Chain A
């Protein structure tokens, strides 16, 4: 293991000064919600520990996770982490291609057996023996299983790897399957989002590289530090929600005033992510700030929740476009009509019986 460089060595080799390195450590501590006392510990760990190798593989995906990652607003983190990753294997970002790339892949697995982190972007389609996604001449699912076999832990990047995303939306013809349903014997951390926030991605990977363990995970296996609260809980438009002030149409006065987008189908109340605190593109904005409701992209099955613009979402089980209210109102209408008809017949029957009995008496 002595031939493996430390994080600090890698950073210095990348031309990063000691001063910048210390800044990076304190920024990382802040991003992960750790106390200032942790800064020297992070620095010490990075100076002394051999870095953890990362293999980054791509299945059925659109590369938006990588696009987000390389745009991390935390430039130092991006440079450092990205440099460290590209040293090993990432078929999209690495310089090598073709046979050379595949050789590097095998070499990394062989060299760091049981020690590397496998980062998966996208997911494997299982239908037709996995033929819907071929990388390096083989179905991606085989590559995933091969790489996962000797991995220490797996990071599922984005909604694809975590939940399936658009390619797994109904009817899912390729049977695109999230990573945790294919690999069952390794610890898996899910970092959902389409894409996940860049700072969340670098934050998670830095935590794992620095502390050599998984961050605290929630019930669904997501890092609790970024996914324990809803967009709604930290939304700056929340006071308008509580006041009952909503945007009623995209071009109305309320939209200009920046009222709550709940009635426009915002999925903030059911979406767990850090968008309303960390925001995007160096903290410039996030969808709600730009006037569009949250579409819930970091939630399981968000493509199958009907329109992005309905508050009460469509129930696809009913075939036609119907939501809970339409179904309920129709059912209540049928029952109400039934009750009225039954009451009418009851009255008629009672009247008939009365007439008969009075005749019998006569």
Chain B
């Protein structure tokens, strides 16, 4: 067995006399280039299970929050199903909003916890390396890539600098803003003697009148909607045009690369 390896003809000896690469053909139309790419392809485990779980629960919560939030500000036409005692449509809408809001809040706290105990990439969401000159240079490169001024993007295991900046602004800052204003408005419903009011009631009077908090919370929703549009577009675009996997990475956790060239 050992002498077979040492003579360099085969990398393993499970089936002596069988060549491993040609037999790994999964479909009939695999070309020589495909086989070559299988040999070169590498993958890195980037997003651990808690990060992926957070991503998708967070996405679902945001989706529910946006829909119900829109209807809380602009209620659907009045419905006559029964007497008010037997009808709770607006109540359920608000319940869904508050429940999704709590899921998002608890999830976000869990995500912060994971930034401390997860891998290196799990921390990327929560900071911008403003003192790193290299980061700034790559940020400008990434902007040029999006302005069609670069023919080929760079490869990144985690977020590219532009994505990191966007994630920080929209998620870390945006979600924190929505959670704090949201909990303040929720505390308003719970009453002035509630614990949550003691914690977040100060937010309500920042603009003088809590109606202002309603308005900025509403604007915050649009901020998140804009993020969703950009995020989904860019994820799909990069999945197609970049040199690495994007969409499947948030499902499997593995980042795969389409070439083995250095940047």
Contacts and interface: CB of A to CB of B under 8 A. Distances in A.
- A-B complex is real: yes
A90 interface: no
Given A228-B193, A342-B146, A346-B241, A241 B211 contact: no
A301 B202 contact: no
Interface string A338-351: 01001101100110
B90 A242 contact: yes
Contact of B233 (A243, A301, A329, A343): A343
Given A244-B87, A300-B208, A328 B75 contact: no
A139 interface: no
B80 interface: yes
Nearest to B192: A228
B237 A343 contact: yes
Contacts of A342: 146, 233, 237
Interface of B is mostly: helix
B208 A163 contact: yes
A240 B84 CA distance: 6
A230 B91 contact: no
Interface of A is mostly: helix
Interface in B85-124: 85, 87-91, 93
A207 B76 CA distance: 46
Nearest to B218: A324
Interface stretch (A24-32, A41-49, A196-204, A307-315): A307-315
A242 B230 CA distance: 35
Interface in A310-345: 311-313, 315, 323-325, 327-329, 331-332, 335-336, 339, 342-343, 345
Nearest to B232: A339
Nearest to A233: B191
A164 B84 CA distance: 39
Given A243-B88, A327-B222, A353-B151, A254 B241 contact: no
B209 A299 contact: yes
Given A300-B209, A345-B148, A328 B225 contact: yes
Interface stretch (A79-87, A91-99, A142-150, A218-226): A218-226
Which interface residue of B84, B93, B229 has the most chain A CB atoms within 10 A?
A: B84
Contacts of B212: 301, 305
A241 B89 CA distance: 9
A105 B218 CA distance: 51
Interface in B200-235: 201-202, 205, 207-212, 214-216, 218-219, 221-223, 225-226, 229-230, 233
A335 B233 CA distance: 11
A339 B229 contact: yes
A263 B73 CA distance: 9
B89 to A, nearest CB: 3
Given A240-B84, A353-B151, A245 B146 contact: no
B259 to A, nearest CB: 14
Contacts of B188: 230, 269-270
Interface residues of A, number: 54
Given A300-B208, A305-B209, A331-B226, A248 B78 contact: yes
A226 B220 CA distance: 32
A244 B202 contact: no
B33 interface: no
A325 to B, nearest CB: 7
Contact of A328 (B85, B146, B219, B230): B219
A229 interface: yes
Which interface residue of A244, A262, A269 has the most chain B CB atoms within 10 A?
A: A244
Nearest to A356: B151
A267 interface: yes
Contacts of B88: 242-244
A296 interface: yes
Interface in B61-83: 73-80
Contacts of A242: 84, 88, 90-91
A218 B230 contact: no
B229 A336 contact: yes
Contacts of B205: 219-220, 300
A311 B223 CA distance: 20
A8 interface: no
Contact of B78 (A245, A270, A315, A353): A245
A259 interface: yes
Given A270-B210, A299-B211, A343-B237, A244 B226 contact: no
Contacts of A323: 215
Contacts of A269: 188
Given A241-B90, A270-B209, A339-B230, A346 B215 contact: no
A21 to B, nearest CB: 34
A350 B242 CA distance: 11
A290 to B, nearest CB: 20
A263 B75 contact: yes
19 contacts: A219-B201, A229-B191, A239-B84, A243-B90, A245-B87, A248-B77, A254-B78, A267-B211, A296-B211, A301-B212, A305-B211, A312-B218, A324-B218, A328-B222, A328-B225, A332-B222, A335-B229, A343-B233, A346-B237
Interface of B: 73-80, 84-85, 87-91, 93, 146, 148, 151, 188, 191-193, 201-202, 205, 207-212, 214-216, 218-219, 221-223, 225-226, 229-230, 233, 237, 240-241
7 closest A-B pairs by CB = A328-B222, A244-B89, A300-B208, A324-B218, A244-B90, A243-B87, A242-B91
